[in-house]
Amino acid sequence: MSLGLAIGLVVAAVAITAAVLVRVYVLALRRLAREASLIASANPGYRTDTWRLPPLRGLAVAVNELAERSQAAQEDVAGQIAAAGTELEQERNRLAALMSELTLAVLVCNVQGQILLYNAAARELFGVGREAGVVGLGRSIFGILDRSLFAHGIELVRRAEEEGRHGPRVRLTATAPGGRLLGVAVAPVRGTGGEIAGFVLTLEDVTRRAEAGFRRDALLQSLTEGTRASVGAIRAAIESMVDYPDMEAVEQQRFMAIIREEAVALGARVEAALRESAAYPRSDDRLAEMLGRDLVAALQQRLESDRVPAPAGAEEREERGELWLRVDSYAVVQAATHLVARLRSSAGVERLTVELDAADRYARLDLAWSGQPLDAETLRAWTEEPLGADGGGMPSSVRDVMEVHGGEVWCEADTDGGGARVRLLLPLVESAPPPRPAPARRPEVRPEFYDFDLFRAAERAEDWDERRLDELAYTLFDTETTGLNPSDGDEILSIGAVRIVNGRLLREEIFDQLVDPGRPISPRSVSIHGITQGLVEGQPTINEALRLFARFCDGTVLVGHNVGFDMRFLELKEAQTGVRLTQPVLDTLLLDAVAAPEEQDHSLEAMAARLGVSVVGRHTALGDAILTGEIFLKQLRLLAAQGVMTLGEAREAARSTYVARRSDSLYSRA
């Protein structure tokens, strides 16, 4: 045997031995380390298979013993916590029961507008049709209220807080999605240091009452105009009889008959109007009590936010103490802002002042300047111009705003100052409301749908990839289809989804929608998901279903299992529906390859067994979405243990796995 051959055999033997050692020891150690991490972070009930690791059997047994002790200790601590929290849980259940009985919708949000709490009435108020899904934990209040209207309410609350008027409650009127009119009351929630940490909003659908008020007002206006002719005829007849006392008896009888006929007709019209108006009680839900100086300050703040130079010398002339007005402050500020902008752009007014004082039962809000007054026709045209559709309520012009308040607007010369002014006449409160006492401190309790940890949420950066995984909101979703080939005409039959906010799977916030595919469903497909032709008849088409789903998942990261399949169906419908989901997407199949690369089976069932998740409701879109959500929460812990903390790191890790196949497009969508 030559020396070279001998050396080669030795090298080969060493290589084989090294490979065996690596396989037996190194890979076994690596697997044992991952299983120990799984026990510690995601599934305390998992145990290593000691017979699969012969060289490390003793170490594996020790790991299992430690796991048993750790699980026992965790269960003991959990039991103690449960016992200690029994009283708090009872308080929570009592409050949850109380909240569920309230017919008034209640929302709590933080200063960024994220919803932290809502009751069943709020969910029902926005729980149907196109408005479904706008209320949910972590969702933005701006899906319900216009941002500028909410900012206006916050500014009024803050101003009252700064002046020491604690416990203020601001009333606003807003137009909800779908065109309904809402009465909204806003009150502050204070943090432990006394700072404003959020707001409590109570909402009520006042559309019918408001419409009844408008109809009653229209009826009274019609009555006024209708009686004008009768009154004129009666007056003319009386004046003729007075002016010609010597007229013949026949003529007198004719005029008397006119008076009698018109009087009877007038009485009939009044009686009919009174009967009809009884069904239309006057509604003033849009008007709320507020200090005059708060209205002036709100007008200044609005002008500054619109980059219109604020009026100089804005003041409240307090001739009889503090002026309390009864107004829709948002509508009045809109109207005054519109007039100021018009004065500057069309009349060339560079400097004006705002003055507020009392006149009998009304307050006079004056926009005054040095110069010539406007002619009546110009002002009339300005007051009929639309104020803009930004959700502040039903009035759409300055004239509408004045009608709502029973006020007037006109322009006149200022005889004292030698200038001119536009005057808005607004109603005063009959008597100043008594000061509200500071609310008594109550123990903190947790209602049914809540997440007060969001009180500490800060403004989020727009760059998704830089955000931490535990800070993001997620929509876990799944679809059921007529088949497996979307390019060959297979269609979506069902979309199911559930949300994760602040690390919690919100089972009460779900999306579960059947879809009419517009084509027959094969028996083979029915045998898998159980959706028959009869179930989808009359259901929304994919156009409507995708619009509703897009609203539900807005502002969240999409997560699914083998999600490329579902996304392909959605992407092929973008041109038809006009709906494009642009948020990032994560795939639990690829994340499992990151968290457990040595595993060969990455199915939902295999992952659920490994992570200690019960499999319920498989092969329904909603059931699979919930199962995926429970698995995903466990995966987040495993990723954190491996140092994968941000969305960008998770997407990059998923992209680099050996099972990534052709899902690269999912991880590059903005």
Residues in contact with 166: Cβ distance below 8 Å, sequence separation at least 6, in sequence order:
436, 438, 439
The whole-model pTM stands at 0.58
d(CA 616, CA 604): 11
Report how far residue 107's alpha carbon sits from residue 117's, in angstroms, rounded to the nearest whole number: 6
Q: Check whether 19 has a pLDDT greater than 70.
A: no
Q: Please give the Cα distance from 359 to 107 (Å, whole number).
A: 39
How far is residue 285 from each of residues 172, 206, 402, measured CA to CA in Å?
Answer: 9, 7, 15
The answer on pLDDT for 638 being more than 70 is yes
- Does residue 268 have a pLDDT over 50? yes
Residue carrying the six token digits 């002619």: 375
Report which secondary-structure segment, H or E, holds 45: none
More confident residue, 476 or 208: 476
pLDDT of residue 10: 64
Residue 118: exposure state from Cβ atoms within 10 A (0-12, 13-18, ≥19)? buried
Question: Is 619 a catalytic site residue?
Answer: yes
Amino acid at 467: R
Q: Residue 587 and residue 407: Cα distance in Å, rounded?
A: 60
pLDDT at 417: 66
pLDDT band at 172 (very low <50, low <70, confident <90, very high): confident
Please tell me the predicted confidence (pLDDT) of residue 151.
78
Sequence length of the chain is 670
Q: How far apart are CA 664 and CA 657, in angstroms?
A: 11
Mean pLDDT of 269-292: 66
Q: What is the pLDDT of residue 639?
A: 93
Query: pLDDT digits over 287-329, tens only?
Result: 777 888 888 888 887 777 665 555 554 444 444 457 888 888 8
Q: What is the C-alpha to C-alpha distance for residues 105 and 124, in angstroms, rounded to an integer?
A: 8
pLDDT in tens, 332-378: 988 998 999 899 888 888 888 888 988 777 889 999 988 888 988 99
pLDDT in tens, 99-156: 666 778 888 888 878 888 888 888 888 765 445 567 888 888 877 777 777 777 778 7
Exposed/middle/buried for 579, CB within 10 Å: 0-12, 13-18, 19+?
Answer: middle
At 194, the pLDDT band (50, 70, 90 cuts) reads confident
What pLDDT is recorded for position 669? 43
User: Average pLDDT over the chain, rounded to whole?
Assistant: 77
The pLDDT value given to residue 441: 41
Out of 338, 405, 602, 619, the active site residue is 619
The residue among 186, 173, 564, 114 whose CA lies nearest residue 391 is: 173
What are the DSSP calls for 469-518, one per residue? GGG--EEEEEEEES-S-GGGT--EEEEEEEEEETTEEEEEEEEEEE---S
What sign does the CA torsion over 72, 78, 83, 84 have? positive
Give per-residue pLDDT as tens, 375-402.
889 999 999 898 864 444 456 789 888 8
